[in-house]
Structure 1
Amino acid sequence: MSPNTWVIEMPTQKARAHPFPRRISPYRTPSRDAFTRDPPAMGPSPPLKNHDHPVFEDIRTIMSVLKASGLMPIYEQVSSYEVGPPTKTNEFYSFFVRGVVHALTIFNIYSLFTPNSAQLFYSYRETDNVNQWIELLLCILTYTLTVFVCARNTKNMLRIMNEILELDEEVRRQFGANLNQDFGFSVKFLVGIAASQAYIIVLKIYAVQGVITSTSYILLAFYAIQNGLTATYIVFASALLRIVYIRFHFINQLLNGYTYGPQQKRKGGGRRRQRDNINSYPNPNSNPAIMEHFPEDSLFIYRMHNKLLRIYKGINDCCNLILVSFLGYSFYTVTTNCYNLFVQITAKGMVSPNILQWCLAWLCLHVSLLALLSRSCGLTTREANATSQILARVYAKCREYKNMIDKFLTKSIKQEVQFTAYGFFAIDNSTLFKIFSAVTTYLVILIQFKQLEDSKVEDPVPEQT
C-alpha cells in the first residue's frame, strides 16, 4: 500500500448493546461453522484461553512440518491473540537446520556433475538429458530460494500472524464472531505430497539398473525432501490466503446487509427479494432502527479492510520470490512429463509402465498445487475487490453516510488489489490456463527437437571418400 493510502483510525469501541442474533454461516461443515455469533453474555466475559480462538490451530499440522524443517520460526504463544519471537534455543535449531540444508544442496550439486549420478539421471537422447538437468537445477534453486526467503522474512511472518490475531480479537469484541474454518485440505495435501514423493522414489529405485550406491540414495532422498517441503510451503501460503479470504468475506457480508433494503421494500410492498449471496446475515433494513448502526459498522469495516489489505500485501511480499521460482519449476516439470508421456505413447517399442506412473505422479502433484494456489489467490483477490463494489450499492439515507462512502470509494478506485509473482504477472483463476498454454507451446518445440534427433539417427550422413 502506498504511504498516501487513506486510512480511518477508529477509537476503541465497546461491544454493541444489541448485537446481531445468531445466524447461519455459509461455510457450514460437518464439524463446525466458519464463524458463529456468540450469544450476549450477562456480566464481564471470562478470560480467553489459548484454545478458544484457534485460527492457526486449523493448520497446525502443516505448520509443525515447516517449523521442523526450518522454514517457519518456532514462535512462542504469548496469548490467544499474540505470538512472540522464538527463544534462543529454537532460533539456534532453525539456524542449524537451514545450515544442514545448504550443505546438502552444495553436496547434491557437486554429485550431479560427477559420474556418481550417472545411474540415476541418464538418458539416451540429448534432448531428454537437457530437460532432466534443467528440471533438477530448478528444483534445487526453488528449494534453496525458499529456505533463504523464509529465513529473511521470519519477523515479517510473525508480524502477519499477529495482525491476523489482532484483527480477530477486534471482530470478536465488536460482533462476537469467531472467524474459523475447517482447513482439512491442508492435511490432505500434506498426505498427498508425502505419498507421491515416496511413490516416486520407489519407482526410481526400481528403474535403476545394478546396485544403487549410497550417494545415489542421498541424492534421491534429498531430492524428494526438496520437492516435498517446497510443495508444503505452497500449501501453507494458500492456507494463509484462505484465512484472509474468510475475513474479507465476513466484512462483505456485513455490507451486504445494508444493500438495497429500502428500495426493495417500497417496490415489493414490504416483500424483499431473496439475494443468493446473502445467506448468513439478514438485511438490517428489515428493522429501520438497525440502519443507525451503519456509521459505526462502516468505520469498523473500513479499518478492518485496510488491515486485511496490509496483511494481503505482507503475504505477497513474503512469498513473491518463492512463487516465481515455484511457478517456473512447476511449468518445466509439467512440460517435461507431458513430453515423456508423448514419447512413451508414440514409441515404436514397448511402453514402460514405470515411466508412465512416474510422469502421472508428477503431473498430479504439480497440477493440483497450481490449481490450489490459483484458486486461493483468485478467491482472495475477488473478495478484496468486491468490498468497494458492494459499498457502491449501499443506499444511504443521510448526507453523512454518503460522505463516508465517497471517501472509501475514492480510496478504492486508486488502489488496485492483485496477488503477483514478484510483479511479473498476477496470480488468479486464469493462471492455470496461462501455464498450460505456455506448456503446449514449449511441448511443441521439444517434440520438434525429438523428431530432428530421430531423423539424424535414421538417416546418417554418408561419409565422404
Structure 2
Amino acid sequence: MCPNSWVIEMASHKELMHPQLNPRRIRPVNQAFVRPTRGTTTLPTNPVFADLQTILSVLKATGLLPIYEQVSSFELGPPTKPNEFYSFFVRGVVHALTIFNIYSLMTPNSAKLFISLRETDNVNQWIELLLCIFTYTLTVFVCARNTKSIIQVMNEILKLDQEVLRQFGIALSNHCNFSIKFLVLIAACQAYIIFLRIKALSGVVSPTTYILIGFYAIQNGLTATYIVFASALLRIVCIRFQFVNQLLNGYAYNQLLGKNPRQLQLHMDKFPEDSLYIYRTHNRLLRIYKSINECCSLIIVCFLGYSFYTVTTNWYNLFVQITSNKGIISTHIMQWCLAWLCLHTSLLTLLSRSCGATTHEANTTSQILARVYGKSKEFQNIIDKFLTKSIKQEVQFTAYGFFAIDNSTLFKIFSAVTTYLVILIQFKQLEDSKLEEQEVV
C-alpha cells in the first residue's frame, strides 16, 4: 500500500463515550503534555491558543493579525468585513506615520534623537533607526499578505488537537506562558528607553520629536511582539512533535524489554494502526512547521539583521564609554545600551531555542522509528516506508532560505557582532587619531 494512501480508522462515538470498551485508545500519557481543563465535559474557548490570548489581542488590535471569527472551539473563520476594514485602516495609519517619520528624520529637529559623540556614532544610529522602520514596515506588509495563511496554520493546529482529543481523550498543553513574561519585558524596556530619551532632550522639543520617539518605540515593541508570537507557534508545534515521539517511543526495543511474549504480542498488535496515526500526524506537523516558516521567515531575517546591528552598536557605545580618555562615564548612555541589549538578546535567545527545539523534535521521530521493534515482516515494511519518507525530508527552520535557525544561531550572531565590533573600534581609533592631529596643528 502506498504510504500516502494510509488512512486512520477513528473510534466510534460509542467507544469514545465509554473508554472501557476501547482500551486501546486511552493510554497513559506523560502529564507534561496534558493541559488541565475545567470540568470533564466542557472545553474552554479556543483551548489551543488559550495561553496566547493577550499577545493575540495586541497583534489583532495593531493590524498584524486578522481579527478572525471563532466558528467553534476548534475552528477559526475569516474576519468579517468591518474587521477587515479596521485592519486595513490601521495598516494605512502605520504606513502614513512611517512616511511622516522618514520625512521628519531629514529635518534638523531629528538630531535630538541621537547621542552625538562622533561621526561614526551618528552614522550607526541613523542606520539602526532606518533598519527599525524598514523591519516594522515589512512586518506589516508580510502580515497583510499572509492573512489567510496564518488562519490556516492556526486551524490546522486546532484540528490536530481535536483529533488527539478524540483519539486519546486528552487535551495537549502549550507551555506558552512565557509569552506574557516577554510582553511585560518588551513593554518595560520600551517604556524605560522612552523615559531615558525624553530625559536626555534639551531645549525646546517640538511635537514632531515626541511623535517620532513614540512611534519608534511602538515599531520596536510590535516587531518584538510578533517574534514572540512566532516563537510561541513553534513551541506549540514542538509539544505536538514530542507527543508523537512519545507514542512512537512506546514501541521502541528498549521499552519492550522485560515483557513476556504474550504481553509483547498484545502490545505489538496495536502497532499497525498506531503507526498509521503517527505517520499522518507527523506529516501534518511538518506541513504546519513549513507553513509557519513561509509566513514568518522574511520577517525573521529582517529582525535578525536589525537585532544584529542594534546589539553591535550598543556594545560599541558601551565600549566607548568604558574606554573614554576623559574618564567620565555617562550613566544615561549605559542604561540606554543595557536596556537594548537585554531586550534583543532575550528575543534572539527565545527565537533560537524555539526553532532549535522544534527542529530537533521533528528530526527525532526517524531516530526513534529506527529503534522500533519490528519482529514480523509486516511491521518491518511499515517501518521501512516511514523511514524512507523521513530520510528524504530535510527538516529545518530557515531565515528566508539564507541560513538555518537553531540553537547555534545565537553563537553565530554574537560571533558576527564581535567581528563588526572590531571594525567599528578601528574606525573610532582612526577618527581619534585624526582629531589628535588636528589639535596638534
Same fold (TM over 0.5): yes
What corresponds to 1:101 in structure 2? 94
What corresponds to 1:242 in structure 2? 235
Q: Within the alignment, does 1:308 sit opposite 2:285 as a pair?
A: yes
How far apart in 2 are the matches of 1:195 and 1:365? Answer: 9
SS of structure 1 residue aligned to 2:116: coil
How far apart in 2 are the matches of 1:70 and 1:149? Answer: 11
Equivalent residue for 1:213, pick from 206, 214, 218: 206
SS of structure 1 residue aligned to 2:258: helix
Equivalent residue for 1:358, pick from 333, 336, 352: 336
Q: Within the alignment, does 1:253 sit opposite 2:281 as a pair?
A: no
Q: Deviations over 1:301-356 (max 9, x none)?
A: 00000000000000000001101100000000000000000000001221000000
Query: In the TM superposition, what is the alpha-carbon distance from 1:254 to its structure 2 partner?
Result: 0.4
Partner amino acid for 2:313?
T
CA contact (8 A) 2:25 2:167 kept: no
Q: Within the alignment, does 1:448 sit opposite 2:426 as a pair?
A: yes
Query: In the TM superposition, what is the alpha-carbon distance from 1:19 to its structure 2 partner?
Result: 3.8
Equivalent residue for 1:335, pick from 312, 325, 328: 312
SS of structure 1 residue aligned to 2:171: strand
Q: Deviations over 1:174-214 (max 9, x none)?
A: 11121123421100000110010000000011111223210
How far apart in 2 are the matches of 1:285 and 1:55? Answer: 39
What corresponds to 1:275 in structure 2? none
Q: Deviations over 1:382-416 (max 9, x none)?
A: 00000011001001122111111111111111110
CA contact (8 A) 2:136 2:220 kept: yes
1:230–1:324 CA distance, 2 compared to 1 (3 A): same
TM value normalised by structure 2: 0.93
Query: In the TM superposition, what is the alpha-carbon distance from 1:365 to its structure 2 partner?
Result: 0.2
SS of structure 1 residue aligned to 2:70: strand
Moved more, 174-183 or 160-169: 174-183
1:133–1:166 CA distance, 2 compared to 1 (3 A): same
How far apart in 2 are the matches of 1:49 and 1:265? Answer: 39
Query: In the TM superposition, what is the alpha-carbon distance from 1:265 to its structure 2 partner?
Result: 2.4
Partner amino acid for 1:372?
L
What corresponds to 2:149 in structure 1? 156
How far apart in 2 are the matches of 1:233 and 1:377? Answer: 15
What corresponds to 1:25 in structure 2? 30
Moved more, 439-448 or 107-116: 107-116
CA contact (8 A) 1:50 1:79 kept: no
What corresponds to 2:18 in structure 1? none
Partner amino acid for 2:279?
Y
What corresponds to 1:131 in structure 2? 124
Query: In the TM superposition, what is the alpha-carbon distance from 1:264 to its structure 2 partner?
Result: 2.8
Q: Deviations over 1:99-134 (max 9, x none)?
A: 000000000000001112122225141100110010
1:78–1:12 CA distance, 2 compared to 1 (3 A): farther
- Within 5 A, what are the aligned runs for 1:316-465? 316-349=293-326, 350-460=328-438
CA contact (8 A) 1:25 1:36 kept: no
The structure that is helix-richer by fraction is 2
What corresponds to 1:291 in structure 2? 268
CA contact (8 A) 1:76 1:87 kept: yes
How far apart in 1 are the matches of 2:184 and 2:268? Answer: 48
SS of structure 2 residue aligned to 1:107: helix
CA contact (8 A) 2:24 2:270 kept: no
What corresponds to 1:226 in structure 2? 219
TM value normalised by structure 1: 0.88
CA contact (8 A) 2:176 2:236 kept: no
Query: In the TM superposition, what is the alpha-carbon distance from 1:22 to its structure 2 partner?
Result: 6.2
SS of structure 2 residue aligned to 1:424: coil
What corresponds to 1:279 in structure 2? none
SS of structure 2 residue aligned to 1:179: coil
Partner amino acid for 2:343?
L
- Within 5 A, what are the aligned runs for 1:62-211? 62-121=55-114, 123-211=116-204
How far apart in 1 are the matches of 2:11 and 2:341? Answer: 53
SS of structure 2 residue aligned to 1:348: coil
Query: In the TM superposition, what is the alpha-carbon distance from 1:245 to its structure 2 partner?
Result: 0.3
1:99–1:199 CA distance, 2 compared to 1 (3 A): same
Q: Deviations over 1:229-275 (max 9, x none)?
A: 00000000000000000100000000111111587328xxx7xxxxx
SS of structure 1 residue aligned to 2:48: coil
SS of structure 1 residue aligned to 2:187: helix
Moved more, 121-130 or 361-370: 121-130
How far apart in 2 are the matches of 1:462 and 1:36? Answer: 74
Q: Deviations over 1:49-99 (max 9, x none)?
A: 553x61111111000000000000000110111100001111100000000
Unaligned runs of 5+ in 1: 28-32, 271-283
Partner amino acid for 1:295?
P
Partner amino acid for 2:34?
A
Query: In the TM superposition, what is the alpha-carbon distance from 1:25 to its structure 2 partner?
Result: 2.9
CA contact (8 A) 1:145 1:322 kept: yes
CA contact (8 A) 2:38 2:44 kept: no
What corresponds to 2:19 in structure 1? none
How far apart in 1 are the matches of 2:436 and 2:246? Answer: 67
RMSD value, Cα: 2.3
